[in-house]
Structure 1
Amino acid sequence: MTMLRPFALAAALAAGALPAAADEVNIYTTRQPELVTPVLEAFTAETGIKVNVAYIDSGLVERLRAEGQRSPADLVMTVDIANLKQIVDAGVIQRVVTDALTEAVPEHLRAADGSWYALTVRARVVYASKERVADGEVTTYEDLASEKWRGRICTRPGTHNYNLALLSAMIVHHGEDYAREWARGLKANLARKPQGNDRAQVKAIWAGECDISLGNTYYMGKMLEDPEQRQWAESVRIVFPEFENGGTHVNVSGVALTEAAPNREAAIRLMEFLVSEKAQEIYAEINYEYPVRPGTPVSELVASWGSFTPDTIPLEEVAAQRATALKIMEEVNFDG
């Protein structure tokens, strides 16, 4: 398999970007190499189809728009429902519907028109201090705005996509007015100004700056891998809150077929492989994420965190509320 590493990306794109051939698939992705390489190598081993990957940190939509029908990219792989919606709204994606895709990916984890499909799921959970937070003290997302958490919560900026998605889901469940008051209540309960990433919040709990934080599940696995961060992870436990009228909030990584797709048939074959039982098991083991394919087991470590009931509101409805969520975060000056 031909894998274009980040250090070779600029030269490759300058020379005409990625190659196009009937037995190859070209991918633009914002995911890290270590998160996608194993599953793509498994695809090549099974099919003989080469996969060329361009790792793009930013400007993905702008690149696809500029390239238009000349784009060498067949597939786009990215994270967060808002990013997937942005790509679709840009008009650079074509729909694809096959039995293999629709049977493997639950309805609420794919676009109704086949413009994108989720590949993995991550839950937006609470990291709770083992020392200062009792079992059962964390219950619902709505409860995070209650006064009992005053000065006890840490989080990354409210305008980050992960927190905007959670607020968007709150809007879907309860309406804009309720979501605005909830955001005000959550802000009032912060122990410090929103800052850093999800891991930084767990470090703050370990340091005694706060008692709970919002974070994605897979960061627990990443912290346990790091000798320096392991002590942060061991100071907390994962709690799965639910919406009062729903389940635990989830977001996704996903894939879409580009409008240009010079290797369309091979690309669709890869899409179907990515949601196959084999690929989903690989994802579950290496990424600490949850498979989208029903019945696929999670890794032993992920299973140790406990089970949860995912919220089943369609992610397209969540994505549609992103602009309103951003407006609310700005109105309440959440990051100020």
Structure 2
Amino acid sequence: MDWDSLQYFLMVARHGTLARAGQALHVDATTVSRRISALESALQQTLFERAPTGFVLTAAGRALVPHAEAMAAAAARIHSAGEGGAALSGQLRISVSEGFGGSFIAPRLAAFVAAHPELEIDLVASSGFLNPSRREADMAVLLARPRKGPLITRKLADYSLGLYAPADRRDWHRAVEAAPLSRTGIPVVGYVPDILYAPELDYLGEIEPGLRAGIRSSSILAQRRMIAGGAGVGVLPCFLAAGDPALVRVRGDQTIARAFWLALHRDIAPQPRIRAFIDWLDAEVQAARTLFIPAPGKLS
């Protein structure tokens, strides 16, 4: 079995459609289809189910993925050695929460892109996570440590959340400090409770038992804008609110603690592109550690 055939298989497994796999390989979808059919014929196995939404791995396909990933890692090492440790290439797909991906990774990504211009990077920053166990992403930054699957996991960073109010509503600042929030009549901004994508986001009760949001969004970036715009008060990650002059933290003695967890499939962990991104992300997180957990008395 040659590596060239397995590249086509891996791209379809990662992207789910012939068209997207073809784009990643810089060939047309017909070529990808022909190569997949030839590989299935050679192996005398069906590797993908053809579904309306795309190509889904069969049991035989899932069994082949670790071997293909191992060959990809070996090919990358050979390429790197041959080029004197030069450019990494291929696709890198990272699944992250909307807040962390949009406000922390995205503004800092230019340096990594400049260092590795031949990498194709998919930053999937949304409400919900892709699953590295099912090869939906190369790695994920999650709100809780996964307990199942062939994954390598570790804590990436602890972070704090606090209660924030619009900076120009000083009357709200005084009211929130003086009385239970539920008795002030001040609107509370938060998540839509019946579509929370992670239980770690159900934290209003840690501000006050039974506290409910009357202005809700599934997007933490939308919540930040609503609070800054004067719609109400709400809980935000400190790293997301930091440096925004339209926001003020109130009840500075109330802190909610959470953590980000890094997860990746163990078969791809040795790949140079994976190691390079993790090393870069670790360095960025370490450099910005005071954003994640502000020093006592320094409210962001």
Q: Report the CA distance between 1:252 and its aligned residue.
A: 4.2
The answer to whether the 8 A contact 1:40-1:51 is kept is no
Closer, same or farther: CA 201–274 of 1 in aligned 2, 3 Å:
closer
Match of 2:156 among 115, 118, 140: 118
Q: Which residue of 1 aligns with 2:216?
A: 194
Match of 1:76 among 139, 152, 175: 139
Q: Report the CA distance between 1:128 and its aligned residue.
A: 2.0
1:275 aligns with 2:282: yes
Alignment RMSD, CA only? 5.0
Closer, same or farther: CA 15–34 of 1 in aligned 2, 3 Å:
farther
Q: Return the letter of the residue paired with 1:138.
A: E
Give the alignment of 1:156-171 within 5 angstroms: 156-159=191-194, 161=196, 164-165=199-200, 167=202
- Structure exhibiting the larger radius of gyration computed from Cα positions: 2
TM-score, normalised to structure 2's length?
Answer: 0.50
1:255 aligns with 2:262: yes
TM-score, normalised to structure 1's length?
Answer: 0.46
Q: Give the structure, 1 or 2, with the largest relative contact order (CA under 8 Å, sep 6 or more).
A: 1
Q: Which residue of 2 aligns with 1:28?
A: 93
The answer to whether the 8 A contact 2:165-2:249 is kept is yes
Structure 1 unmatched runs, 5+: 1-7, 95-114, 172-178, 225-232, 293-297, 310-336
Q: Report the CA distance between 1:137 and its aligned residue.
A: 4.1
Q: Report the CA distance between 1:308 and its aligned residue.
A: 5.5
The answer to whether the 8 A contact 2:103-2:240 is kept is no
Q: Return the letter of the residue paired with 2:249.
A: I
Q: Distance in 2 between matches of 1:204 and 1:262?
A: 40
- After superposition, the C-alpha distances for 1:233-264 in whole angstroms (9 at most, x for unaligned) are 63x41235445xxxx22434443332221644
The answer to whether the 8 A contact 1:123-1:217 is kept is yes
Give the alignment of 1:190-269 within 5 angstroms: 190=213, 192-195=214-217, 197-198=219-220, 200-201=222-223, 210=232, 212-220=233-241, 234=246, 236-239=247-250, 241-242=252-253, 248-261=255-268, 263-264=270-271, 267-268=274-275
Q: Report the CA distance between 1:81 and its aligned residue.
A: 1.2
Q: Report the CA distance between 1:14 and its aligned residue.
A: 2.5
The answer to whether the 8 A contact 2:154-2:261 is kept is yes
Structure 2 unmatched runs, 5+: 1-14, 26-68, 81-87
Q: Which residue of 2 aligns with 1:55?
A: 123
Q: Which residue of 2 aligns with 1:99?
A: none
The answer to whether the 8 A contact 1:118-1:254 is kept is yes
Q: Percent identity?
A: 15
Closer, same or farther: CA 254–17 of 1 in aligned 2, 3 Å:
farther
SS for the counterpart of 1:89 is coil
State how many pairs are aligned: 220
Give the alignment of 1:273-312 within 5 angstroms: 273-276=280-283, 280-281=286-287, 290=291, 307=298
Give the alignment of 1:40-51 within 5 angstroms: 42=111, 51=119
Q: Report the CA distance between 1:168 and its aligned residue.
A: 6.4
Q: Which runs of 4+ in 1 moved over 6 A?
A: 8-12, 16-19, 168-171
Q: Distance in 1 between matches of 2:119 and 2:227?
A: 42
Q: Report the CA distance between 1:134 and its aligned residue.
A: 3.7
Q: Distance in 2 between matches of 1:50 and 1:90?
A: 33
Closer, same or farther: CA 208–262 of 1 in aligned 2, 3 Å:
closer
Q: Distance in 1 between matches of 2:172 and 2:140?
A: 38
The answer to whether the 8 A contact 1:116-1:255 is kept is yes
The answer to whether the 8 A contact 1:93-1:258 is kept is yes
Q: Which residue of 2 aligns with 1:132?
A: 171
